[in-house]
Amino acid sequence: MKQSEVRETFFVNISIGVTGWGDHDSLYPDQIPPQDKLAAYASHFPVVEVDSAFYAIQPQRNYHKWVRQTPDNFSFIIKAFQKMTGHDREKIASSDVKEMFKAYRESIEPVIEANKLNAVLFQFPPWFDVRKEHVQKLKVIRSLMGDLPLALEFRNRTWFDPVYKEQTIQFMKDYNWIHSICDEPQAGINSVPTILEPTHKDKTIIRFHGRNVHGWNKNGRDDEEWRKYRFLYQYSEEELLEWKKHLEALQEQTNHISILFNNNSGGDAANNAKQLMRMMDISYEGLNPRQMGLFDM
């Protein structure tokens, strides 16, 4: 077998996409209606993150629509609702918690039935540090979500402090959590290091948040200004080449890797995703047909 053929086969178990499908203007023809963007997105990438699920439990009709707009081999990584991860710091009665998780699971049922659920992503807030009550919360969530594929992402580095790192990794393995590995700024307690250890034999997720150290923490900014700059970053070729080496090692330890670029404050996510695909000689079959532009041949 030729070397080029080996390389193409080697990366066949990697899906690359971006977070959300609404803000990546470089992917779409001019004047495309918002309701058509997902179908157009699915002509470029085989996986996407559903960010809207973080802000509200979506009605089933939305998921039915999104399933129809995407090809058979497309998959969704759906963010957990913010009240499920405690972002609002609101105390919720245990009976209400059970109802909330039940409503969330029912909402994503169309994606499950279509066999398009890649994972439900539980991204916890910066104040979710390593302590017994938080470990117990993770156990409860696993119980409430049943056997669905669940991904876990921390925003507090205490989980990976040397004294806890191996226990954290082992806990994720024991409770069948998919590790959402982060590439993000190293900006104090509210950021986590890149831990290149899969915890699930079938799936690993990698999320690229950029490396904007000065924009990562609020540091007195209001929410609107902070969100404008937090993910303002363009990955260099050297940085992506470094990740190519990481991926070669990671895929020896897990069956499938999903990569999501979230560095889109300046519109760089889709371009970096395409750059990584070219760098790794990855192309996908079975995507939606691409709408041709006026000067495309």
Reported pTM:
0.91
C-beta separation of 13 from 256 below 8 A: yes
- Average confidence score pLDDT of the chain: 90
Residue type, 116: K
For strand 203-208 and strand 177-183, is the pairing parallel, antiparallel, or unpaired? parallel
pLDDT at 279: 95
- The pLDDT confidence band at residue 295, using thresholds 50, 70 and 90, is very low
Render pLDDT for 195-252 as a digit per residue (tens, 0 to 9): 999 999 899 999 999 999 988 887 767 777 777 788 889 999 999 999 999 999 999 9
User: Which domains are seen in the chain, by residue range?
Assistant: 3-279 (3.20.20.410)
Answer whether residue 291 shows pLDDT above 90: no
C-beta separation of 126 from 85 below 8 A: no
> Using only C-alpha atoms, what is the Rg of the chain?
19
**Residue found by looking up tokens 């995703």 in the block:** 273
What are the tokens at 284? 């996908």
* Average pLDDT of the segment spanning 39-53: 97
What is each CA distance from 8 to 52, 213, 226, 282, in whole angstroms?
34, 35, 40, 7
Render pLDDT for 109-151 as a digit per residue (tens, 0 to 9): 999 999 999 999 999 999 999 999 999 999 999 999 999 999 9
Q: CA-to-CA distance for 50 and 70, rounded, in angstroms? A: 13
Q: CA-to-CA distance for 124 and 153, rounded, in angstroms? A: 6
**Please, which residues have CB within 8 angstroms of residue 158's CB and are 6 or more apart in sequence?**
129, 130, 164, 189
Q: How many CB atoms lie within 10 A of CB 22?
A: 12
